[in-house]
Structure 1
Amino acid sequence: MTENEITSGKKISVLVVDDEKSILKLIQRLVRQEGYDCLIASNGLEAITVMEETVVDVVITDIAMPKMDGIELTKQIKENYSADVIMMTGYFKDLSYENAVTKGAKDFIQKPFSTKEFQIRLNRVIKERETNQELKKSLERMNEIVDGVINSLSLTVDARDPYTAGHQKRVAQLAIEIARSMGLGKTQISSIRMAGILHDLGKIAIPAEILSKPSMLSDIEFRLIKTHPQVGYDILKNINFPTPVARIVHQHHERMDGSGYPLGLAGDDILPEARILMVADVVEAMFSHRPYRPGLGMDKALAEIKKNRGKFYDPDVVDACLKTMAENFKFDG
């Protein structure tokens, strides 16, 4: 079973955990009256055993219990399961609503409780859970649409520059692994992935004959090539990405000493995500074939970032890239 099964028409499952049999029977009856499946356990360890075997949507747990109390059970649930928790206790000194929520519970019930209060609190938690799951599904669908648009834009660049087809995806692949090695969070990694796939989008404004020229570029042609980060930024800046994707694209040819382009940014003025992307871009570009030269190989690519570690490239990013390569990273395709 998966977490998403809770919103696909499956009956909601509630696990009640209490060491008092009379309380277990009472709550089990109230839960079933609301039309939900109800499982029971007499302590936290029994509850964990149940959750290992069955998908549980909501856990209603007492606090003071033998073997594993409700506080520890709630902690285990938040770390390892998807269920929401309602805490309850007959001792007000044990916990307050604020403390219960701080410890990870969605609600708190003080014993003794009325049937009406119990029904309201349980149904509120379940309704909120179902709403959150629907929002999660909507966000997933939206992300799929965004991914489709991003990949289509990337393929547009590949179609105009067949010699470097797949470059953007390979850069994104390496940048993601560098970011993971550096311990970046999911949001930053997602931002790096999108920016990596789109970082050369501005090349759609460069004549195809320049992109595929089999000899070295002239000064004028190279100046034209150097406009692509700005063009990419101008295309993306009005799209309301949740992260600074356009700015990362804008900065992927900057250098830590200020010698890059198009803005001449240096040091901390360059976004951390752009510092990662610039290293991944350099490594992939040197490793792969270009219209005017064969691939130089990974040894030369890594020698470049080692040589200019701290000058052009962020030392932490270089170290993370070298670590990634030492762990047998391979480009797809």
Structure 2
Amino acid sequence: MPDTDSDTTSAARILVVEDEAVVAIDVRHRLTRLGYTVAGIADSGEEAVRLVGELAPDMILMDIILAGKMDGVDAATLIRERYAAPVVFLTAHSDRATLRRAGAAGPYGYLIKPFEERELQSALEIALYKSRMERKLAKTERLTAITLKCLGEGLLTTDETGQVVFVNPAAETLLGVAAAAIVGQPLEAVYRATPGEADGPTGREQAVLHCPGGRDVPVEQTTSPILDAQGGSIGTVVVFRDVSQRLMAEQALRDSVANLRCALAETVNALTVTSEKRDPFTAGHQQRVSHLAAALAVRLGLPEEACEGVRVAGLVHDIGKIHVPAEILAKPEALNAMEMGIVHDHSAVGYEILKSIPFPWPVARMVLEHHERMDGSGYPGHLGADAVLLASRILAVADVIEAMNSHRPYRAAPGREASLAEIRSGRGRLYDPDVVDCCLELFLREGYQL
């Protein structure tokens, strides 16, 4: 039937079914005066059914007593089954038996002859409104039913007693049970799940669904009450979905990240060993600088990931020394200006070696800047404090402390007190004051040992 929402009578097309020609003509004139359109006139039940199929009227105004084998009640019943078209009975028969039989046909109104035009209009308008509302409701129900059936998540709905009244195909598949065996059963009998933790901001609960046959399926589930207009519970809806594939993908991703971190750690260790093989006199220097720098980063309150970046940069901060000839590294006396220039290049060389490695931290830049100083007197870029990373300033202090506590071919180790005096005298001028203060507390108050 056409789905019209018009509130004007001119939009309504009426099929008149009346076997008395005079009455049919009178009804036609009345409908026309009221602004309706007469779609056609039939004088038998058989013809009425045929015309409804051909003309698709908005309303059928039908007498009960008709010519032919099929009376109005039979015709109305068939029309309702085939076309769901609304029928208003127009008859002179108002006895209880006739009314009972007519009511079984599901009419939208009942008008007793003779009648006034206002009675006719009222009956038709009420019937048309009821028909429009029912079509809207039926359309909404169809859309909802199709949506629920196509939903990829399992859905169970119960009534107020807790018995299942609806199961969508996805729920049948996940549970491994046909809907016919689920509907009418208590929810707890067909949906057995061990709940876990809520899944973050979504509020969905992790659970393990125990299916027939001993099959357990990890799911996400949401249980919500269905409330009436007064806030009373009239049922419950449970939505759930299989998350097995997602959990496997997440585990695979975690394993992949762990493997990548392991490969990165081994790569860093290999670089550390490579650089220290070139200078056996400083063996262990990078590890000790890395340990101290990481301790300073933690004490300064840097995030865990940033502290890890400082630790890794410390392990490779002298990788550029593979560029320095071995005889310069092992020279047992002070270096001349040319040799010192070659040594000073190691920060930039280290940067060039590391800049293409996709570290999750600015390791190459930290290596480049670890010999810069607050006043711009460092190398290789003579950068001031504002241009140098905090992580680089941490490495600078750790490097000075460790270097002054280790022997070199050309000198004995000045020792702990001398190294602490060095950073104390250069506080704010050469070295970051916060890093210096942190380092002093670490050694003097907490007894840190290299």
Compute the TM-score of the two structures, normalised by the length of structure 1: 0.67
In structure 2, the CA distance between the partners of 1:258 and 1:39, relative to structure 1 (3 Å rule), is same
Matched, 1:157 2:278: no
Matched, 1:192 2:303: no
- Correspondence for 1:145: 263
- Correspondence for 1:272: 390
1:170-181 correspondence runs (5 A): 170-181=288-299
- Correspondence for 2:448: 329
CA-CA distance at 1:89 after TM superposition? 4.7
Identify unmatched segments of 5+ residues in structure 2: 1-161, 164-185, 207-218, 228-234
CA-CA distance at 1:90 after TM superposition? 3.4
Distance of 1:195 and 1:140 partners within structure 2 = 20
CA-CA distance at 1:131 after TM superposition? 2.4
Q: Deviations over 1:206-253 (max 9, x none)?
A: 001111111111111111100000000011111122211101100000
Q: Deviations over 1:37-72 (max 9, x none)?
A: x546xxxxxxxxxxxxxxx6x4589xxxxxxxx9xx
Matched, 1:255 2:373: yes
Mapped contact 2:225–2:236 kept (Cα < 8 A): yes
Aligned residues: 246
Letter in 2 for 1:113: V
Runs of 4+ in 1 over 3 A off after TM superposition: 25-29, 58-61, 84-92, 126-130
CA-CA distance at 1:299 after TM superposition? 1.1
Matched, 1:215 2:350: no
Matched, 1:119 2:240: yes
Mapped contact 2:223–2:236 kept (Cα < 8 A): no
Give the number of the structure whose alpha-carbon radius of gyration is greater.
Answer: 2
Higher strand share: 2
Distance of 1:189 and 1:86 partners within structure 2 = 38
CA-CA distance at 1:113 after TM superposition? 1.8
In structure 2, the CA distance between the partners of 1:281 and 1:88, relative to structure 1 (3 Å rule), is farther
Matched, 1:90 2:225: yes
Mapped contact 1:60–1:88 kept (Cα < 8 A): no
- Correspondence for 2:359: 241
Letter in 1 for 2:447: N
Distance of 1:127 and 1:246 partners within structure 2 = 38
Mapped contact 1:256–1:265 kept (Cα < 8 A): yes
Match among 277, 284, 291 for residue 402 of structure 2: 284
Letter in 2 for 1:311: R
Distance of 2:386 and 2:298 partners within structure 1 = 20
Distance of 1:330 and 1:91 partners within structure 2 = 66
In structure 2, the CA distance between the partners of 1:225 and 1:136, relative to structure 1 (3 Å rule), is same
Identify unmatched segments of 5+ residues in structure 1: 1-21, 33-37, 41-55, 62-69, 75-83, 93-110
Compute the TM-score of the two structures, normalised by the length of structure 2: 0.50
In structure 2, the CA distance between the partners of 1:241 and 1:329, relative to structure 1 (3 Å rule), is same
In structure 2, the CA distance between the partners of 1:244 and 1:39, relative to structure 1 (3 Å rule), is same
In structure 2, the CA distance between the partners of 1:267 and 1:27, relative to structure 1 (3 Å rule), is farther
- Correspondence for 2:421: 303
Higher relative contact order (CA 8 A, sep 6+): 1
SS at match of 1:152: helix
Distance of 2:256 and 2:352 partners within structure 1 = 29
CA-CA distance at 1:91 after TM superposition? 8.3
In structure 2, the CA distance between the partners of 1:265 and 1:209, relative to structure 1 (3 Å rule), is same
CA-CA distance at 1:128 after TM superposition? 3.3
Distance of 2:432 and 2:220 partners within structure 1 = 44
Percent same amino acid at aligned positions? 42
- Correspondence for 1:169: 287
Distance of 1:205 and 1:310 partners within structure 2 = 32
Distance of 2:303 and 2:249 partners within structure 1 = 25
CA-CA distance at 1:130 after TM superposition? 3.6
Distance of 2:446 and 2:225 partners within structure 1 = 54
Distance of 2:265 and 2:388 partners within structure 1 = 25
Matched, 1:134 2:252: yes
Higher helix share: 1
SS at match of 2:237: coil
